[in-house]
Amino acid sequence: MPVASKKTILYKILKWRYRYISDKNFVLILSIIVGFMAGLVSLLLKNMTHLIQLVLEGDIILWQTSFYFIIPIIGLFIVYIITKYITKQDTESSIPLILYSLSKKNGVIKQVQGYLPLILAPITVGFGGSVGLLGPAIGSGSTISSDISKIFKLDTKTRFLLIGCAAAGAISAVFKSPLAGLVFAVEVFSLDLTLTSLLPLLFASVSSIITSYFFLGDEVLFRFDVLEKFDIYDTPFYIILGIGTAIASIYFTKMYFGILHFFNRFPKKIHRLIIGGIAIGIMLYFIPPLYGEGLGFINNLLHGNHMAAIGKTPFDNITGNVWVIIALLTGITFFKAIAMTSTFAAGGSGGIFIPTMVMGSALGNVVAKVINNLGIGFQVSEANFTLLGMAGLIAGVLHAPLTSIFLIAEITSSYELFVPLMITTAISFIISKNKIEYTIYTKALAQKGQLLTHDKDKAVLTLMNLEECIETNFIPVHPEYTLKELLSEAVAKSNRNLFPVTDDDGILVGLVSLDDIRDIMFDISLYHKVTVNTLMSPTNAVIIFENDNAKTAMRKFQDTGAWNLPVIRDGKYIGFISKSKLLTAYRRKLIYFTR
């Protein structure tokens, strides 16, 4: 269809929409569509991954067992070929990409970056990469939301909301937990939970979960019923588990950044691929549950089948001892973070949400087994502690305690564990948050001042675009100008009282203020004797376009007491930002996002 015809049809649709559907109702309709699409994306990722795993675990099962360490390298190499020669686009972690688009791109996500995980994530996970599929599902769903917003010319605030709807929809489809999806969008994407945003998020969650039921029926990731109720005498053990998950969360986060830092020492991607692939293969050979997402591992632990969860290992002849089982599960807790990060560092694509749950489930099960086998006269539910461990890790690693509580409550279709969940997640969150302020999702963005938070002032400053505040109607002068040239070429032609002094290369060397020359500007005898370089004063501070943001610019105004600060880009002067214009832009943005 010709482009002109497409534009005509779109124009007619938009015209009909503006005439018959209110903005509020239209957003609700779009939230249902976004939820449906997020559900389809989640199912597509799951089915593609399972298909790859089915092929690898079928006719070549003997080959796979003998050469386990080769499979991850093959998968990572396929990803490498696709990104280097076909898409020519590096893989990016989905959630940080979305957070960056919200703070600095008005919610606009590049299509290649958003949809690429639909191909790369199933290959990575299917070939044994120890990462999850939820992050890519959220990323692709959010890209769909961004594209829909562009098609219908929606404002930035509505685009943000629809991206939150995609996240809520993806989680609802994967776990069949609509409330957890809604809370995740609020906690992680820093959306405001008002009536305006609540209804679209609910509609998206419901639409997505209905999509999941339509295609999968009653099939769920985790099928578990809580049989043992809350016992007040178990409270100390919940506290111990909370502390344990907090320590594990801190370890998880530090290990993630440490391993990435190590791999960054290798400039060539192919070297990172080989090292990461071999490392993952070796870990998979000795610890099979590290293969892929690890959902089967969690289900086996929930049903008390730790032998099936651990799988066939070189230590099968000694697994009759419960302490050996505890040691193996502890190893899974320890190595899951290493295997996951190695997959990312080697070029793989995936998410961290489900690996976090795997690590938490192993840790919770270990704590329960230790309590039950210490001979202190206490018996706790290993299945319940497996669930609580997952919640504690989600709260500690992602700083999302409410998401973890509602997720586990909806997985179990019961609120029997609500009190233990609150105890464990609260302790894990408080300790990990005090030790590590930012998560794997947010650290890099926070360091650049590009992170949205629930703090209204900080969020508005993050959303502001400094380029819109730059004023360029200041007339630059050369340091060799005489007083007469300064007056005739700049003062007489400008309504400003400040003049930047730049050299032949456009580099700022100083400033001349009208106040500096007021006493001599009418002294004709000085017109050819005094030059600008004797009149100019040094700059107290400058705004570096590449490095500064609205928050740091505001701090510089506060520290210097200046009303105008020059802006430098690529080392050269480009204009000024005034405090009044910056504050005006701040007020407008604040009114827009809080109305």
Strands (E), 522-571: 543-544, 564-569
The structure tokens 């003998």 sit at 66
In terms of domains, do 317 and 440 share one? yes
Query: Residue 163 has what pLDDT?
Result: 92
Residue at which a domain ends, from 429, 448, 467: 448
Asked if residue 282 and residue 424 are part of one domain, the reply reads: yes
Same domain, 365 and 444: yes
524 and 376 in a single domain? The answer is: no
| Residue 225 in domain | no
Residues paired with residue 51 on neighbouring β-strands, in sequence order:
none
Q: Would you state the pLDDT for residue 37?
A: 94
Half-sphere exposure of 326 (CA within 13 A, CB side): 13
pLDDT of 62 reads 46
Full 3-state SS string of 373-420: HCCCCCCCCHHHHHHHHHHHHHHHHHCCHHHHHHHHHHHCCCCCCHHH
* 323: in domain: yes
Q: To 5 degrees, how large is the angle CA 20–CA 21–CA 27?
A: 165
In a domain, 221, yes or no: no
CATH number (domain holding residue 559):
3.10.580.10
Domain that holds residue 431: 232-448
Q: Is residue 224 part of a domain?
A: no
- Say if 80 falls within a structural domain: yes
For residue 437, what pLDDT is reported? 85
- Which CATH number does the domain housing residue 58 bear? 1.10.3080.10
- Residues 162, 97 share a domain: yes
Q: What is the pLDDT along the chain (595 residues), one digit of tens a residue?
A: 555 565 677 777 777 777 778 888 888 999 999 999 999 999 999 989 888 888 876 644 444 455 567 888 888 899 999 988 888 877 778 888 888 888 778 888 888 888 888 899 999 998 888 898 898 999 999 999 999 988 888 888 889 899 999 999 999 988 888 888 888 988 888 776 666 778 899 999 999 999 988 887 766 666 666 667 777 888 899 999 999 999 999 999 999 999 999 998 988 888 999 898 888 888 888 888 888 888 888 888 888 888 878 877 666 666 667 888 888 899 889 999 999 999 999 888 888 999 999 999 999 999 999 998 888 888 888 888 999 999 999 999 999 999 999 998 888 877 778 889 999 999 999 999 999 888 888 887 777 766 666 556 666 667 777 888 888 888 899 989 988 888 888 888 888 888 999 988 889 988 988 888 888 888 888 888 888 888 888 888 899 988 888 888 888 888 888 888 899 988 899 999 888 888 888 877 776 665 5
Last residue of a domain, one of 168, 189, 216: 216
453 located within any domain: no
Q: Is 350 found in the same domain as 411?
A: yes
| 3-state SS, one letter per residue, for 342-358 | HHHHCCCCCECHHHHHH
Which pLDDT score, from 0 to 100, does residue 1 have?
53
Q: Which residues pair with 158 in a beta bridge?
A: none
Q: Specify if 226 maps to a domain.
A: no
pLDDT of residue 61: 47
Q: How far apart are CA 198 and CA 203, in angstroms?
A: 9
Task: Label residue 482 exposed, middle or buried (CB < 10 Å: 0-12, 13-18, 19+).
Answer: middle
> What pLDDT digit, counting tens, does each position of 342-388 carry?
999 988 888 899 999 999 999 999 999 999 888 888 888 888 899 99
State the pTM of this model.
0.81
Q: Do residues 241 and 268 share a domain? A: yes
Do 470 and 356 belong together in one domain? no
Among 410, 361, 414, 356, which residue's Cα sits nearest to residue 383? 361
Do 173 and 100 belong together in one domain? yes
Same domain, 314 and 339: yes
Q: Give residue 146's identity as a one-letter amino acid code.
A: S
Quick one: 402 and 507 in the same domain?
Answer: no
Q: Is 454 among the domain residues? A: no
- Identify the domain boundary among 413, 448, 483: 448
Among 573, 520, 445, 460, smallest CA distance to 97 is for 445
Single-letter amino acid, residue 173:
A
- How does pLDDT run across 105-136, given as a tens digit for each residue? 888 888 888 888 889 999 999 888 889 889 89
Domain count, the chain: 3
User: Are residues 377 and 487 located together in one domain of the fold?
Assistant: no
